Amino acid sequence: MKRCHQELERTKRVHRQHLRQTHNWPIAIVDCVCEFQVGRFRKQKAFGCHRAQCLLCHFDKIFGVASVKDRIRDQRYRDSLDDYFGSNTER
């Protein structure tokens, strides 16, 4: 719930922007499903197509390319192993 509350103002702003650009709101009446779906734009990639098997948007997942977080985590793991085994052999 913390993230939802932190992003509440942005979520409202993006939803109002969508209604203005797509449905000409507040001049015209909005009669669409997206009128009541305020959080539908949360946690989406900027130019994502929303298809899980799209090679343009999800090439890293499909081809097994490690993300930055994964690479950092792997490097920290290797460093901790080096520290552990390096300190054991020096005794």
Same domain, 38 and 1: yes
Distance CA 76, CA 70 (A): 10
Contact 23, 30 (CB under 8 A): yes
Higher per-residue pLDDT: 88 or 12: 12
Tell me: do 38 and 70 sit in the same domain: no
Q: What mean pLDDT comes out for the span 47-53? A: 74
Q: How many domains does the chain have?
A: 2
pLDDT value at residue 54: 81
**Which residue range(s) make up the domain with 70?**
48-91
* pLDDT number for residue 90: 54
Tell me the pLDDT tens digit for each residue of 60-88. Answer: 877 888 989 999 999 999 999 999 888 66
Token couple for 21: 């650009």
Are residues 38 and 5 part of one domain? yes
Predicted local distance difference test score (pLDDT) of residue 41 = 65
- The residue that leads in pLDDT, 78 or 8, is 78
Based on the domain organization, do 62 and 78 belong to the same domain?
Answer: yes
Same-domain check for residues 67 and 38: no
